[in-house]
Chains A and B, each alone.
Chain A
C-alpha cells in the first residue's frame, strides 16, 4: 500500500493505493488523523484501493468521527468497487459523504 497527500482547492486529498489491511491500516489511520489536524476539509481518494478490510474501514470511521467533533469536513471520493463492496456490507455507504470524483469533492 502507498499513499499520497496533496492540496486541492484548500482541501487535503489523501489518495490511497493498493491493499488497506491489518498490516497497512495503522499508517492510513495516522495519515488521516494528521490531515484532520491541519485542515478543515479532508477527502480520501479510494480509486486505487484494491482491497480494504475491517481495520481499514475502522480507520475511516475514526477519522469521520474526529472530523465531526472538530466541525471539519470529511468525504470519500472515487470509491473503487472493492472498497464500495465492503462499505456497503458494513452499511457505511449511507454514513460517509461519498463523491464520484476528487474534483466533485473539492468544489464548493
Chain B
C-alpha cells in the first residue's frame, strides 16, 4: 500500500495547504455541519470500506488543516489497535499497537478524546512510531469512535500546518463530532457486511443441501425389497441412509445419524456415507464394515462428533439379514405372522469415538430371518418427533403407525408414517430418516417349510422326554434323538446332523437360558409330520429375545459362537416360536427326511 498520491501532492504544495489552514481558522458551525452532511452522504453512498475510510480521513485532514490522519480499529481479539487507513506523507496502514497504551489506546479505553497540544511537553508520548517512520509528530488530536456502549477504535490527527503548528481544544471538539459520524458509518458498514455474508452462507448451504440430496440413493422400484425416506429438519441434514445392491443379489443398507446439526454434521455425514459405499464393496460382514468405518473416522474425526449407525447386509434369496447396531436407535423386526415386534438394541458404541474398540472380530452382528416379515430402521427424529396431538411419538407410537399402515405399498407406507409427524410445509425439529427391509418371499419353496405355532400334534408324536438341564445329561439327549431318528428309519449321516442340532440347542439352554446353574429342566417333543421330523425343545427359564442369539462370523477363527451356525446349517428351519402356557421358551427344529425314507 503506497502513500495516497493526492496526499504527497497536497503536502508538497505548501501554498495550497496554507490556504486550507487559513480556511479552517475561519470555519463556522455552518461549515462544520456542511462537512458532516457531506461525509454522511459519502458513507451511505459507497459500500467499499477502504474507500470510505480513506476519503473521510482526507476530508478531515484537509478541513482541519492538518498534516496527517489515521484510523485505528480495535482488532478482533481486542488485544490490539490496527491502523486500517491513513492519510498523509507516511503510510502506516497495518501498523499494530497494543491496546490500552499510548494516547490512542487511552482514548479507546476511556472513550474520551485527547489533545496533546505540544508533544515536546509530554514525557509519556511514545516516539517509537516516529522513529520507525521518520515522521515528526509535534501536535496530536485523538477522538474515539464510540457508538452505543462500544468503542470501535479512534481517529488520530497529527500536526497543524501553519501558525504555531499546534492544535487547540476547539479542534478536538470538531474531531470528536466527525468521529461520531465515522463510527456510525463503520458500524453500519459492518452490519451490512454481516447480512451479505449471511446471505452468501445461506446460498452455500442450499448448494450443500442439493449435493447432499444427491448422496442419498434414488427411489427404489416397488418390487425392490428395501425402501428409504429422509426428511431434513433444516436445509442440510445430519441423517442419511443408503442402499447398495451387490452383483450377487445381496444388498447393503444403512441408516445413520450424525451428532449435532448444521454444516459440521452435514460434512461428517458426507464423509461417512462415502466410507460406507466405498468399504461395503469389499466387506463381507456388517461387523467388519462398521469396524473399518469406525477406524477410518477415528483417524481424522475430531471436535467430539460421532455417528450412530445401523448397517446391514440383506440376502433376498433366503430372507436372512445380518446387521450391526452401533449406538443407534434400536431397529424393529416386525413378524407378520405373530404381529410381534422385536427390537434390536445397540451392542456397540457409536462410530468415531474410539479406535480399535471392537477387536479383531469387528463389531457384534445380529442375524435375523425375516421370514416374510419386515425390518424397520429409523433415526430418533422419528421417535422423538411431536405428534399432532402434541406429545412425543415414542417407540410405541412408531409400532402403532407401522401396524396401521402395514397394508400399504412400502413407498406409501414410509410417507404415511413420516406424514403422521410432519405437516406439509412445516419443518421438523430433527432430521427424520426411515428405512424398511421386506422379505418378499423370494426364498425357494420348501427350503424353509412354514411351521405353525402350536405344539406338535398328538397323533404324530414319537416321544417326549423331560430331563435336567445339565452337561452330563446331554449324552442321554443325543441317545434319545438317535432313537427318534431310528424310529423314522433315517440314515446315519442324517441322524448325526439332527443329533448335533438338538445337542447344540440343549447346550444353549444349559449355558444361557439357565446360566450354567445346573437347575431347571429341558423338555423335548419328537414328532413326525409327513416327511418332516419336528423337534420342539422347551425350557422353563425366563423368555430370551431370539434376536440376541447370534450366529458366528465364520470368516473369523475364534472359539465359541458356533452352535447357532451348526444348527442352522443342518436343519431346514430352526426358530423360536411362541411357547405354550407354562413353558419359558420353545425352539422348534424341523428337518425334512430323505426321499427314500418317506
- Whether A22 and B496, one on each chain, are in contact in the complex, defined by CB atoms closer than 8 angstroms, is no
Q: Does B560 contact A (CB under 8 A)?
A: yes
- Whether A85 and B565, one on each chain, are in contact in the complex, defined by CB atoms closer than 8 angstroms, is no
Q: A53 touches which one: B472, B493, B504 (CB < 8 A)?
A: B504
- Whether B475 and A19, one on each chain, are in contact in the complex, defined by CB atoms closer than 8 angstroms, is yes
Whether A22 touches B500, Cβ cut-off 8 Å, given contacts A61-B558, A89-B569, A95-B557, is no
Interface residues of B in 494-541 (CB under 8 A from A): 496-497, 499-500, 503-504, 507, 510-511
- Whether B474 and A23, one on each chain, are in contact in the complex, defined by CB atoms closer than 8 angstroms, is yes
- Whether A85 and B493, one on each chain, are in contact in the complex, defined by CB atoms closer than 8 angstroms, is yes
Distance in angstroms from B488 CB to nearest chain A CB is 20
Distance in angstroms from A99 CB to nearest chain B CB is 19
Q: Which residues on A sit within 8 Å (CB–CB) of B499?
A: 51
Interface residues of A in 4-63 (CB under 8 A from B): 19, 21-23, 51, 53-55, 57-59, 61-62
Whether A59 touches B559, Cβ cut-off 8 Å, given contacts A19-B475, A90-B565, is yes
Which residue, of A54, A61, A91, has the highest number of chain B Cβ atoms within 10 A? A54
Q: Does A86 contact B (CB under 8 A)?
A: yes
A64 to B507 Cα, complex, angstroms: 23
A22 to B493 Cα, complex, angstroms: 21
Interface residues on A, range: 20 to 34
By beta carbon, the residue of chain A nearest B473 is A23
- Whether A23 and B557, one on each chain, are in contact in the complex, defined by CB atoms closer than 8 angstroms, is no
| B contacts with A: majority SS | helix
Interface residues of B in 560-574 (CB under 8 A from A): 560, 562-563, 565-566, 569-570
Q: Which residues on B sit within 8 Å (CB–CB) of A58?
A: 559-560, 562
- Whether A86 and B566, one on each chain, are in contact in the complex, defined by CB atoms closer than 8 angstroms, is yes
Q: Does B419 contact A (CB under 8 A)?
A: no
- Whether B557 and A53, one on each chain, are in contact in the complex, defined by CB atoms closer than 8 angstroms, is no
Interface residues of B in 456-514 (CB under 8 A from A): 471-472, 474-475, 478, 493, 496-497, 499-500, 503-504, 507, 510-511
Would you give the 0/1 interface string for A74-100, flagging 1 where the beta carbon is closer than 8 Å to chain B?
000000001001100111100100000
Q: Does A65 contact B (CB under 8 A)?
A: yes
- Whether A61 and B559, one on each chain, are in contact in the complex, defined by CB atoms closer than 8 angstroms, is yes
- Whether A86 and B471, one on each chain, are in contact in the complex, defined by CB atoms closer than 8 angstroms, is no
Whether A51 touches B471, Cβ cut-off 8 Å, given contacts A61-B558, A85-B493, A92-B557, is no
A92 to B472 Cα, complex, angstroms: 26
Q: Which residues on B sit within 8 Å (CB–CB) of A86?
A: 500, 566
A21 to B507 Cα, complex, angstroms: 9
- Whether B507 and A22, one on each chain, are in contact in the complex, defined by CB atoms closer than 8 angstroms, is yes
Q: Which residues on B sit within 8 Å (CB–CB) of A90?
A: 554, 562, 565-566
- Whether A23 and B475, one on each chain, are in contact in the complex, defined by CB atoms closer than 8 angstroms, is yes
By beta carbon, the residue of chain B nearest A29 is B559
- Whether A54 and B504, one on each chain, are in contact in the complex, defined by CB atoms closer than 8 angstroms, is yes
Q: Which residues on A sit within 8 Å (CB–CB) of B566?
A: 54, 86, 89-90
- Whether A85 and B496, one on each chain, are in contact in the complex, defined by CB atoms closer than 8 angstroms, is yes
- Whether B497 and A85, one on each chain, are in contact in the complex, defined by CB atoms closer than 8 angstroms, is yes
Q: Which residues on B sit within 8 Å (CB–CB) of A21?
A: 471, 474-475, 478, 503, 507
Q: Which residues on A sit within 8 Å (CB–CB) of B471?
A: 21-23
Q: Which residues on A sit within 8 Å (CB–CB) of B510?
A: 22
Q: Which residues on B sit within 8 Å (CB–CB) of A53?
A: 474, 500, 503-504, 507, 563
A57 to B563 Cα, complex, angstroms: 10
By beta carbon, the residue of chain B nearest A62 is B559
By beta carbon, the residue of chain B nearest A85 is B496
A22 to B518 Cα, complex, angstroms: 13
Q: Which residues on A sit within 8 Å (CB–CB) of B500?
A: 51, 53, 85-86
Q: Which 4 A-B pairs have the closest CB atoms?
A: A58-B559, A54-B562, A23-B471, A22-B471
Q: Could you list 11 examples of A-B contacts with CB < 8 Å?
A: A19-B475, A21-B474, A21-B475, A53-B563, A58-B559, A85-B493, A86-B500, A89-B566, A90-B565, A90-B566, A92-B557
**Given A58-B562, A61-B557, 15 additional A-B pairs, CB 8 A:** A21-B474, A22-B510, A23-B472, A23-B475, A53-B500, A54-B507, A54-B560, A61-B559, A62-B559, A89-B565, A89-B570, A90-B562, A90-B565, A92-B557, A95-B557
